[in-house]
Structure 1
Amino acid sequence: MPTWEESSTARVVPPARPRKLAKVPFVELADGRLQGVVSSGSDAARVYVSSVAARTYAYACSTNNNRPCGGARGSFCNHIRAMVNEAVLQYGPDRVARYLRVETTGGETSAPGIISAMTGTGPAPAGDKPAAAVFSRFLRHLAYLELAPTTAPLPEMQWFPPTRAVA
């Protein structure tokens, strides 16, 4: 068994390129969506939770208090565009396009190319807006960043069963 499998820490994949976290502090490819938290351009205390579904490109954007974004009417708002740009910086254009199942024309994989290739988009159905779950993961992510580095087990992770080598 590799030693990293016996560790209580996870390997971190470095970003494709460095990115600034002020505008989009959290972005992930999870649950069949590109989703993240985007800072408001007009109010420092407000953030938006944005998402784009793989394959259908159904989108959602709302504040952390579930108020709909005023710019996401019929097309991607600036929050979603910023999230796609930052996802390309974090994961690389090919990985983002592959995850969202975007077919870019001429093989151009860039944030503008991915955005323009997502045609036929529309708002996500009412029951498929992950704002609460994404924002909760973002807050959990922030809490882990405040912990001091250690190899000791985290109490909240103790529910995982211990693994032992079978003789």
Structure 2
Amino acid sequence: MLSDWERSSTARVIPPARPRKLAKVPFVELADGRLQGVVSSGSDIGRVYVSSVAAGSYAFACSTNNNRPCGGARGSFCNHIGALINESVLQYGADRVVRYLKAEVPEGEVDGAVLASAMRSTRPEADTTKAAASVFSRFLRHLTYLEHAPATLPLPEMQFFPPTRAVA
């Protein structure tokens, strides 16, 4: 027997570990072997940065939405990456982020600053995979879903999933 959520056209959303403000980091995800997301510029309201940190190697990247490199990400994490790490801990919880990034952190209370410091100590290199375009594209897709009124009807773009039938 399928549960109600398995029969619905919506996916379950895991609530954040702690409430967070979306103005500075509107999009954060653990995907494609990286912590990645979109971070608002502190100086220009029309500019955002796409930042990422790779799991295991902590290779990092930060660039504007039109692929101009971040001036602060030269040899170490910039402020955008620091904000991304802090918000990921709020969104997913410190334990989950530490496990995903394969970070070795000291025992005790872990927050974004402790996690960033532990990763910085390994002297990570700049990431050359150029994943910014796909991350920014997912962010824009995420924004389009916010424009829809809440409904239980299927979204037309999600119709490629075949219908399922309950097995008696």
Select 2:126's aligned residue among 123, 126, 139.
123
* Alpha-carbon distance in 2 for matches of 1:139, 1:82: 20
Q: Report the residue type matching 1:160 in the other structure.
A: F
Which range moves more in the overlay, 114-123 or 56-65?
Answer: 114-123
Spell out the pairing of 1:6-155 with structure 2 (5 A cutoff). Answer: 6-118=7-119, 119-125=122-128, 128-155=129-156
Structure 2, gaps ≥5 residues long: none
* Alpha-carbon distance in 2 for matches of 1:100, 1:27: 14
The alpha-carbon deviation at position 113 of structure 1 amounts to 1.2
* Alpha-carbon distance in 1 for matches of 2:98, 2:24: 22
SS at match of 2:144: helix
Q: How many residues align?
A: 165
The alpha-carbon deviation at position 11 of structure 1 amounts to 1.2
* Alpha-carbon distance in 1 for matches of 2:146, 2:163: 25
TM-score (norm 2): 0.94
TM-score (norm 1): 0.95
The alpha-carbon deviation at position 164 of structure 1 amounts to 1.4
- Residue by residue over 1:72-98, the C-alpha shift from the partner in whole angstroms, topping out at 9 and shown as x without a partner, is 000000000000001111111111111
The alpha-carbon deviation at position 30 of structure 1 amounts to 0.7
Structure 1, gaps ≥5 residues long: none
* Alpha-carbon distance in 2 for matches of 1:108, 1:129: 33
Q: Is the 8 A contact 2:76 2:123 kept in 1?
A: no
Q: CA RMSD in A?
A: 1.1
* Alpha-carbon distance in 2 for matches of 1:165, 1:2: 10
Q: Report the residue type matching 1:124 in the other structure.
A: D
